[in-house]
Chains A and B, each alone.
Chain A
Amino acid sequence: MKYNLELIKNKRKIFSFSTFLILLSLLGILYSTFNTSYKKPINLGMDFIGGNELRIERVCEEECSNLSPDSVLENLREISTNKNFINNIKLQFQNNNKLISIRTPYLSIEESNNLITNLDNIIGPLNYESKDSRLIGPKLGKRLLTNCVTSLLVSLFAISLYITIRFDKKYALFALLALFHDLLIVFGIFSWLGIILSVEVNSLFAVSLLTIAGYSVNDTVVIFDRIRENLKSNEEGYNETIQLSVNESFRRTTFTSITTLIPLLSIILFGSYSLFWFSLALSLGIIVGSYSSILLAPSLLLKD
């Protein structure tokens, strides 16, 4: 089966589609920066701003009774002496009222223990064997954020350097453009997710961006490799050779994307909760990355 992607014909459509995605991402980032409560391009989670996150299961016979988060908060307010922090609590019931998930600003270990004891009094008994509690200081959060941004920049620089050495400057430039395109779109999608669903990004999100960067370049490099090889035995015109090379690598690129997506989908479906958004970010990155490697990056090489 031969594939026949009409790259030359559809160049404009590809560019407009990418421009549309980029504008949409920028819009999300701008909206997030100016019109949300957190005033950041993306909704930073407690990894970066500090805080307290607690997830614990209730011990119930058969079914857990339905409780409203508001009434629980009301009870907590009565018991607790620190009225101020209760106002900043986010409390949710999940998993048929079985799982309690709480977010608060930063607490000391003692205060956090106190909170759990109070909760046990109100809606107990709680199963301490299934507790997942995280406390992170605001100072450490800031440090993690700078750490993540630095590692992103350093590795982007390293990747750019590598492909500039391996390929000529034009190829390297376009591979990088495709890479930034992919990262920007994933970032934009998570900006929107933050605005609409209050999804927060943590340090694993930074990891997914880095992995996407490596993967996206990988994909593009393979196609450019093929283009370069075919141009050496240049039988058809320049543009036609590029289009042919893309069609020759099409199967390979979609197949590798599918085989990488399959394990990620298994993590999304069966894996632990804490890896859900991480795997989703990676999956999105791989989908956008394949699109840009197959369609966008080679189209940039086309001559008018």
Chain B
Amino acid sequence: MKRRQGWLFFIIFLLTLSVYLLINYPLQLGLDLQGGSQLTLQIIKEEGKVTGDELEAVNSVIDRRVNNLGVSESNLQTLGGDQLILELPGEQNPLVASRVLGKTALLEFRTQKKGTSTDLKNLQLQRLSIKELIEKYSIEEKNQNNDNFLKVIQDDLKGIEQELNYSSTSNDFYGKLIEIKKYVDKEITNLFIKTDLSGKDLINAGRRQEQTNSNWEVLLTFSNSGGEKFAEITKSIAGTNQLLAIIIDGESISEASVGNQFTSTGITGGSATISGNFSAENARELEVQLKGGSLPLPIEIVETNTIGALLGSKNILKSLYAAISGLIFVGIFMIFNYRILGFVSVLSLVLYGFFNLALYSLIPVTLTLPGISGLILSIGMAVDANILIFERIREELYDGNTLSRAIDSGFQRANSSIVDGHITTLLSCFVLFLLGTNFVKGFAATLGIGVLISLFTSLNCSKTILRFFTTYQSLRQKNLYLPKNNFSN
């Protein structure tokens, strides 16, 4: 008797604890329930596997970039050794993130090769005209471009291609323009020689609007040794015709001359500016990339998921309907078939729901749509064990056993099949959790936790509640445990 009471108090204690946990530690909702973007980033390595160190290095660079972007509550996780998953909650456009994250942002400073002035001037002119074409094109596209205009810039493009002796491969017109711009940037880069100053010598980056026009420029701050290197390099080319190029990811962003006045000391003070006709947005993106450092390996964005906030809240509501109606109908079915026993199983199902959710907030499990379906499915499976036990109890009652005997042996004899049955489901969950992708993991986690908790609630809670009921004389009549039409059997 005392032991039974002990269990009853323990269950009440667990219930109180669960309610406390749920109030104080709210459930974490996945992006499909609150809206937001999720990006999967794939680290690209030509040969061999991505090592743990490399993964960590990429992770920290991406993390810094995301933080510098100012996205709040973002979440970055590694997956499967060579992938990263970035979650940006709230309705956020993945476009900006993709532009900022996808670039390696390898910063280099190079000095011009001697005798390349004519080539350089020529290429710079071409670059300027392509930039103009790109600008014209994007303005015109917004205003629904007409075919006439397209023909004009198509001709211009052909001219440029002929002069460069290069033909683009892209099918898309805009793609062609971008491809040629990249080609020119790379050709310019080839006219310069590497120096030992690089992005590693940078300690900070910033941006500001130029005073003379509305363009933006990016400010670089070097470390002490970087500042010395910079002074050295600028000193060596000051007053000559050679230019200094600032190159990011192998493409020259800007080329600058160093004035006569720096021939004795070079440019000191440890800072430099890049003025490359940046728009406010471009300047900010470059700033973020430089601040975060360059990626040790290139990455590619292989998956994006964007879900609007409204759709997210609709999803929550739908899942709630599904869960509650599932619970109610299962409850009705159970009470109809097993009477008091059914009522007991409904009580232990409610406990099951609370324990489950409390555990989610404790671990914590991020609830996603597949996760919720795992939870709802496990409601059905949680009843499974109860049914096994109740059927046994009924058989014992039909055999003419007393109620308490029937209850005891019902629970005892059903044990082995319950455990056997649950283990196969747990095995599947375990494999899914190990090998599955993000979304699949959510399902495996909730179903697995559900199965474990249902073992406790159906074996222990049901028994305790049932024992508690049978202490009351009025609840001990056999016909309360068997459907009337079957009782005569």
Contacts and interface: CB of A to CB of B under 8 A. Distances in A.
Given A263-B379, A267-B322, A128 B424 contact: no
A109 B304 contact: yes
B431 A151 contact: yes
A12 to B, nearest CB: 29
B423 interface: yes
B432 A278 contact: no
A169 interface: no
Given A113-B95, A151-B432, A203-B439, A135 B174 contact: no
A304 interface: no
A255 B337 contact: yes
Interface stretch (B47-55, B64-72, B155-163, B326-334): B326-334
Contact of A258 (B333, B421, B435): B333
Given A128-B308, A207-B436, A267 B326 contact: yes
A284 to B, nearest CB: 14
- Residue among A248, A270, A279 having the largest count of chain B Cβ atoms under 10 Å: A270
B225 interface: no
B487 to A, nearest CB: 11
B424 A159 contact: yes
A299 B118 CA distance: 89
Given A211-B377, A214-B427, A222-B388, 6 more contacts: A129-B35, A131-B308, A139-B302, A147-B436, A211-B428, A267-B322
A272 B432 contact: no
A261 B380 contact: yes
14 contacts: A109-B95, A129-B308, A132-B311, A134-B304, A135-B305, A151-B432, A158-B430, A207-B436, A211-B447, A214-B429, A252-B388, A259-B334, A266-B376, A272-B314
A204 interface: yes
A29 to B, nearest CB: 23
A282 interface: yes
Given A121-B144, A162-B423, A256-B384, A221 B301 contact: no
B321 A266 contact: yes
A264 B444 CA distance: 16
B486 interface: yes
Nearest to A111: B172
Given A134-B305, A139-B302, A151-B435, A218 B380 contact: no
B281 to A, nearest CB: 14
Contact of B424 (A2, A79, A217): A217
Contacts of B330: 259, 262-263
Contacts of A263: 322-323, 326-327, 330, 376-377, 379-380
Interface string B325-346: 1110110011001000000000
Q: How large is the interface on B (under 10, 10 to 19, 20 to 34, 35 or more residues)?
A: 35 or more
Interface string B37-54: 000101000000000000
Interface in A54-111: 79, 81-82, 84, 109-110
A136 B438 CA distance: 14
B200 interface: no
Interface of B: 32, 35, 40, 42, 91, 93-95, 98, 144, 171-175, 300-311, 314-315, 318-319, 321-323, 325-327, 329-330, 333-334, 337, 369-370, 373, 376-377, 379-381, 383-384, 387-388, 391, 395, 416-417, 420-432, 434-437, 439-440, 443-444, 447, 485-486, 489
A255 B302 CA distance: 45
Contacts of A39: none
Contact of B308 (A121, A127, A135, A159): A127
Interface residues of A, number: 74
B322 A221 contact: no
Nearest to B438: A203
A251 interface: yes
Nearest to A138: B302
A135 B94 CA distance: 11
B428 A214 contact: yes
Contact of B370 (A82, A139, A207, A255): A207
Contact of A275 (B306, B310, B369): B369
Nearest to A146: B435
A44 interface: no
Across the A-B interface, the 9 shortest Cβ-Cβ residue pairs: A260-B380, A263-B326, A129-B310, A218-B421, A137-B302, A214-B428, A155-B431, A214-B425, A151-B435
Interface of A: 1-2, 79, 81-82, 84, 109-110, 113, 121, 127-137, 139-140, 144, 147, 150-151, 154-155, 158-159, 162-163, 166, 203-204, 206-207, 210-211, 213-215, 217-219, 221-222, 225-226, 248, 251-252, 255-256, 258-267, 269-272, 274-275, 278-279, 282
A266 B325 contact: yes
Given A137-B302, A147-B437, A279 B373 contact: yes
Contact of A109 (B91, B301, B373): B301
Nearest to A154: B431
Contacts of B425: 211, 214-215, 218
A100 B434 CA distance: 36
Given A210-B428, A261-B380, A267-B322, A109 B440 contact: no
A267 B395 CA distance: 34
A221 B421 contact: yes
Contacts of A269: 322, 325
B308 A272 contact: no
Nearest to A53: B305
A218 B443 CA distance: 19
A275 B370 contact: yes
